[in-house]
Structure 1
Amino acid sequence: MEVECLYRSMEGECFYRMFVKLSISSTFSGRKVSQVGREGRFTPLSWAEFNKRACAKSRFGYGSVSTMKISAKINVYNEEDNIAGVCEDLQWVDEIVIVDSNSTDRTVELAKRYTDRIFNREFRGYKDKHVFSDAQTTGDWILWLDADERLTPELKQEIENLRKRDPATLPDGFRFARKAFYLNRWIKHSGWYPDYQMRLYRKAASYWDGVPPHETARVRGPVETLNGELLHYTKRNLSEYHAMIDSYTTLAADHLYRQGKRAGWIDLIFRPLGAFVRTYILKQGFRDGLPGLIIAVFTSYGVFLRYAKVWEKRLNGEFISEGSSLG
């Protein structure tokens, strides 16, 4: 007899269909399905248990069926040069969710070619935007990418292989190394590599934490490390990088100012100097050639600018409103 076994998701959509050939034991009058025991004898197996076992044999092979639905999310602002590339890279996931913040270029127009899950959120800070975009996803797992990031084939395959695992053995998050391409070379030192990022996480176990502008997703349970890499094609030139530093330091200074921090001579002289030494010497930025020197100088400048802005806000007695800057 052939019995058709359907595996259905919680939404009722049929994903897997297979046919299992069964031998029916006459002693059970069709109420029990027989299975072959270790010695070749037929032993009774309830319909419920049979269906549970049969449905576990999915397109991934024998074993537990994964219910791992992955939603990729991308937060964007004026990313017309990158949005098509990242969406192409994510065609294998279950859905792509894009959250824009009033882009003035063709970002949204291009994104519509790949997904209809596009939302707009006025920028009120990175954490607010991340919390909002997480809420728009329908999958139980979230893969977070920026528009200028790509998955290596090895990392993509590793994530796909996770679908084969027993859901009970999965941790709450997965992290992987991020490698940056900057000034026409891969940066392997300067504190930029391996730069582990937890970018795949269980939605129900996640929350957002950290200091602006570097808020990040965290999970309550264990995190595993994957071997593949996330490629970051960061700012294309020094002008773009300088603009990013100006934006990030404004957000960081706002946060410090709200916390009641002050900035003086020590902050403006020794903190930037320490940042340069740490980046160029201790983290071996000198091994990245001239780009390593530029990274160290910009890192030092960013620290200086952050505390100079705190000092300026104190000087002017400025009132800081939440989300006053767009990154």
Structure 2
Amino acid sequence: MALSVILITKNESRNIAACLKSVAFADEWIVVDSQSGDGTAETARAMGAQVITTTDWPGFGKQKNRALDAAQGRWVLSLDADERVSPELAERIRQVVARDGPAAGYELSRISRFCGQWMRHGDWYPDRVTRLFRRGTARFTDDLVHERLEVQGRVERLPGDLLHDTMPSLDDALDKMNRYSGGRALDKVRAGKRGSLFAALTHGWWAFMRCYVFKRGFLDGRLGLVLAIYQAEGTYYRYLKMALLARQAGKSIEPI
């Protein structure tokens, strides 16, 4: 078996079919589902995927490692349910798998859609993510959110875009901000980091400047400004939640 595609899901019925169709060239598809109630698992099975249902939620990193442990291919492609492989990228992936070259992993360029618009500047593009790797050379970190793939060996870059159809509405974006800032704050506190109101304000300000000014987010028009504010807010709340979590844990922190 040459190529396995792995992904984790929770109520992704609006995305799962398009995601799997974009990687129809793979040899197997492993879906680890967190008890979806919207037909996600049934749709994935109908499209030929092996579906593994879990009853607990250990975090993104550990859940993805569960999917990885079930894969049998020489090469593994990790996707999120709201991602699609573009035709150009699909061809490049097929070439890598057929050639079976010496690289251990490959970095992809991800372009994301925010509230209906593809964002081509700012923090979101090119969003480099390592997703294609030789099985046995990589594992995901145990982070609750923003997990990383750690590859043992050389990592190269593939041409072509990974399409990330995320946050179709502002409500989706705000919901994700709340969940991810909380999870990331918990990861940081567990690692011994701490936050404060000052850190929240300064890091939030820098996130806005980096996204909107230094990475030219203004070239994406009005939604470029909205995204920069969104990035700043997410950073602000993450550091504020870190301070509150550390206080609850009895750690010494600066007053809020």
Computed over aligned residues only, the root mean square deviation of the Cα atoms, in angstroms, reads: 1.8
2:192 aligns with one of 260, 263, 276: 260
Alignment of 1:1-327 (within 5 A): 69-121=2-54, 122-165=56-99, 167=100, 169-209=101-141, 212-317=144-249
CA deviations over 1:154-187 (Å, ceiling 9, x no partner): 111111122442x3x3311112211112222221
Q: Distance in 2 between matches of 1:271 and 1:299?
A: 10
What CA distance in whole angstroms lies between the structure 1 residues aligned with 2:193 and 2:156?
36
- Give distance in 1, aligned partners of 2:250 and 2:163: 39
Work out the CA distance in 2 between the residues paired with 1:209 and 1:266. 29
Greater Rg over alpha carbons, structure: 1
Residue 149 of structure 1: how far off its partner (Å): 0.8
Q: Distance in 1 between matches of 2:23 and 2:197?
A: 48
- SS at the partner of 1:191? helix
Give the Cα separation in 1 of the matches to 2:162 and 2:124.
12
Assess, with a 3 A threshold, how the Cα gap between structure 1 residues 88 and 116 changes in structure 2: closer, same or farther.
Answer: closer
Q: Percent identity?
A: 31
Retained in 2: the 8 A contact 1:97–1:115? no
List structure 1 runs of 4+ shifted beyond 6 angstroms: none
Q: Give 1:100 shift.
A: 0.6
Q: Distance in 1 between matches of 2:96 and 2:230?
A: 39
2:224 aligns to what SS in structure 1? Answer: helix
Following superposition, the deviation at residue 318 of structure 1 comes to: 7.6
Task: Give the structure-1-normalised TM-score.
Answer: 0.72
Unaligned runs of 5+ in 1: 1-67, 320-327
Name the CA shift for 1:272/1:153 in 2 (closer, same or farther; >3 Å): same
| Greater fraction of residues in helix | 2
C-alpha change, 1:196 and 1:317, in structure 2 (3 Å) is: closer
AA aligned opposite 1:77? K
CA distance in 2, matches of 1:162, 1:253: 37
Structure 2 contact 144–183 (Cα < 8 Å) conserved: yes
In structure 2, relative to structure 1, the CA distance for the partners of 1:312 and 1:87 (3 Å cut) is same
Change in CA separation of 1:133 and 1:272 when aligned onto 2, cut-off 3 Å: same
Structure 2: stretches of 5+ with no match in the other structure? 252-256
SS at match of 2:122: coil
- Local SS of the residue matching 1:235: coil
CA contact (8 A) 2:28 2:49 kept: no
1:78 touches 1:104 (CA, 8 Å); kept in 2?
yes
User: What is the Cα deviation at residue 281 of structure 1?
Assistant: 0.7
How far residue 116 of structure 1 moved from its aligned partner, in angstroms, is 4.7
**1:324 matched residue in structure 2:** none
Q: Counterpart in 2 of 1:65?
A: none
The residue number in structure 2 matching 1:30 is none
User: Which residue identity does 1:191 align to in structure 2?
Assistant: D
For 1:20, the equivalent position in structure 2 comes to none
The count of residues paired between Structure 1 and Structure 2 equals 250
Contact kept, 8 Å, 1:127 with 1:208, in 2: the verdict is yes
